[in-house]
Structure 1
Amino acid sequence: MAVFSRIAGTGSALPEKVLSNKDLEQFVETTDEWIASRTGIRQRHVVAEGETTADLAERAARAAMEAAGVTADQLDLIVLGTTTPDLIFPSTACLVQHRLGANGCAAFDVNAACSGFIYALSIADAYVRSGMARTVLVIGAETLTRMLDWSDRNTCVLFGDGAGAVVIKADAEAGILSTHLHADGGKKDLLYNPVGVSAGFKPEEKNAGVRVLMTGNEVFKHAVKALDSVVDETLAANGLDKTDLDWLIPHQANLRIIEATAKRLEMPMDRVIVTVHKHGNTSSGSVPLALDEAVRSGKVKRGQLLLLEAFGGGFTWGSALIRY
């Protein structure tokens, strides 16, 4: 008998500190109107001193596990999407695993930038379908404000910190119907962090420090095109029409990109989950954060058809079609 995976529970975590656009006006050459009109962002959450990606991931994981009625000893695998790990190694997934008391199960990180959660969910789904796992914890968690240049108004206004998680379980009925992943490393210089281990600093970025470098207009154009393509691919793979979708739960990077995807699907914005105005771009945390909010608010209900999608540095992009 075929085995599928379904989402059994969701959870999320946000730092206590909120940084509004008005707050940013005090130390960055920008305005609330400028940020909001171009991105839709009004505020973002920022980690406190000493607060880490693992802290947020653990909180989101515990909330998802409680919602799913799952204990740590039942986990077969933990996959954590992040581009801001606590350490280079061990993985943040291993740190979270130990905190949860799930020692012994497999645990690893996935770095696909803002597409990290979609990539992690796809891997978890494959493990369940293959029979290698029955209960998997999938997390997307970031502390991107730790790598921002707060003097660069083109990037520092965009990002926030946060984490979201889901528990998926093996089931006779399909919950995750399909996932679709893509990448194009040829566009790497349009959105990247110049610091690494093996390569060190790029020569032209000596002493630049850890920060986000982005060619915003080009990223916008590529994101809209890639997401249009993966939406079409997802619907075609499942023999569905765009009218069959109940909800679009997109990566929360920019309201204009979200609106462009909704327009492509001919979906009214009241069927699109939008959190970018209060979370900013939380990278791999954004989709599971939005999903958890939609579930806990009662908007998303069991049996509804959800389209999740994301686009990030790499470039990476992907989607997941889910019968919740």
Structure 2
Amino acid sequence: MAATESPPLAHIVSTGSALPGEPIDNATLGERLGMDRLWEQWVATFVGTLGRHLSFDLDTGKPLGTLADLGEQAGRAALESGGIAPGEIDAVVFGTATPDMLMPATVNIIADRLGIDGVPTYQLQSGCTGAVQALSLGAKLAADPGTRRVLVLAGDSCTKHFDLGMDFRALPPTQLINCVLFGDGAGAVVLSAEPEPDSIAIRRILTRLVGGGRPPGHELDWFGPADREDSRPAVAEDFKAVEESVPALAGEIVTELLEDVDWAAGEVDFLLPPQLSGRMTERIVAGLGLPGAEEVSCVDEVGNCGNALPLLQLDRLRDRIAPGDRALAVAVESSKWLKGGLALEAV
């Protein structure tokens, strides 16, 4: 293995995750939305997502919980798995595109419920790279004098934008696809400046805006009393642009990470690829040139739950990675086109 000269940016010492309710398969979702049997075949063939978890009851439309509920569950799981008391957390960072409210910030509701107080808290507004951004900020905070551990959370409640009263059969494919892709969830990790038993070293974090001069590939609107009757859709996605751009950006991220840490492609043991959909992930993995890396994915089972996905992947990675193993995590955000990535090594 190539020597790694620079010290780790931080260490992942524990992880946790949370998903609402029972998984909803494509047949159940299609029946509720009034779709015919071709729906299930279309989803399986072109999307590849088999299930998702929703923060509302599909039959009644009643909420099952909030993003703060999911963040609390994921955060508590991360604390408990690491044997860490709330008073041992010195800062909290949360990445999301769908906070419960504009104020108070969801991060502060979660921290309060976990019994964390008297520490800095930060909430980052972003899409699929928000978890990487939160880890980047968390690693910098962990390196500050007097800070030992930082709780990093990320999650989304994407499906609160569903209107179960609409005629889904009349929606254009650019809007209907969102009913298939998205689910809800949250993930959490505890970062430490120093290595701890079974921790994972973060060797490199990449997060960068690369969308200058480009139109957004994904838009998520926020309606207030003055504009909630506007005819524009709450969620809009240029899926063709996503299909064209995300695989290429993912390849650029892998190349840059490998160069930065001086690893050869054959030295990567695990790959945590972008998680837009099952089919998209398959195409991306096939083109990344890491045939020896074991894939760690979950989007086909839990849907695209936005910011939660990289941390859900890290939660799964912890059960599989062994000392000396190396991993790359890749995230691409299509809203205004951002790159995100991690180079990881078990210690």
The TM-score, its normalising length taken from structure 2, stands at: 0.84
Map Cα deviations across residues 111-160 of structure 1 (whole Å, 9 max, x no partner): 22011111101111122234363201111111101123563422110000
Q: 1:206 aligns with which of 210, 214, 230?
A: 230
Structure 2 match to 1:215: 238
- Establish whether residue 189 from structure 1 lines up as the match of residue 216 from structure 2: yes
Contact 1:2 1:172 in 2 (8 A): no
| Matched pairs, number | 317
Contact 2:49 2:301 in 1 (8 A): yes
Structure 2 match to 1:38: 46
Q: 2:336 aligns with which of 298, 307, 314?
A: 314
Across the aligned residues of Structure 1 and Structure 2, the Cα RMSD in angstroms comes to 2.4
Q: Take 1:17 and 1:245, find their aligned partners in 2: how far apart are those partners? A: 34
Structure 2 match to 1:145: 159
Alignment of structure 1 residues 254-293 onto 2, 5 Å: 254-268=277-291, 271-293=294-316
Q: Which stretches of structure 1, 4 residues or more, deviate above 4 A after TM superposition?
A: 1-4
In the TM superposition, residue 315 of structure 1 has moved relative to its aligned partner by 2.0
Unaligned regions of 5+ residues in structure 2, if any? 1-5, 57-62, 169-174
Q: Secondary structure at the match of 1:266?
A: coil
Q: Take 1:301 and 1:201, find their aligned partners in 2: how far apart are those partners? A: 52
Q: Take 2:177 and 2:65, find their aligned partners in 1: how far apart are those partners? A: 25
Q: Which structure has the larger Rg?
A: 2
- Establish whether residue 51 from structure 1 lines up as the match of residue 65 from structure 2: yes
Unaligned regions of 5+ residues in structure 1, if any? none
In the TM superposition, residue 91 of structure 1 has moved relative to its aligned partner by 1.3
- Establish whether residue 179 from structure 1 lines up as the match of residue 200 from structure 2: no
In the TM superposition, residue 89 of structure 1 has moved relative to its aligned partner by 1.5
Q: Take 1:319 and 1:43, find their aligned partners in 2: how far apart are those partners? A: 26
The TM-score, its normalising length taken from structure 1, stands at: 0.90
In the TM superposition, residue 247 of structure 1 has moved relative to its aligned partner by 0.5
Map Cα deviations across residues 9-39 of structure 1 (whole Å, 9 max, x no partner): 0100111132211012212546222112222
Residue type at the aligned position of 2:216: D
Q: Secondary structure at the match of 1:231?
A: helix
Residue type at the aligned position of 2:40: D
Alignment of structure 1 residues 12-161 onto 2, 5 Å: 12-26=17-31, 27-29=33-35, 31-48=39-56, 49-131=63-145, 133-148=147-162, 151=168, 152-161=175-184
Q: Take 1:269 and 1:243, find their aligned partners in 2: how far apart are those partners? A: 6
In the TM superposition, residue 192 of structure 1 has moved relative to its aligned partner by 0.4
Contact 2:47 2:277 in 1 (8 A): yes
Q: Take 2:220 and 2:227, find their aligned partners in 1: how far apart are those partners? A: 9
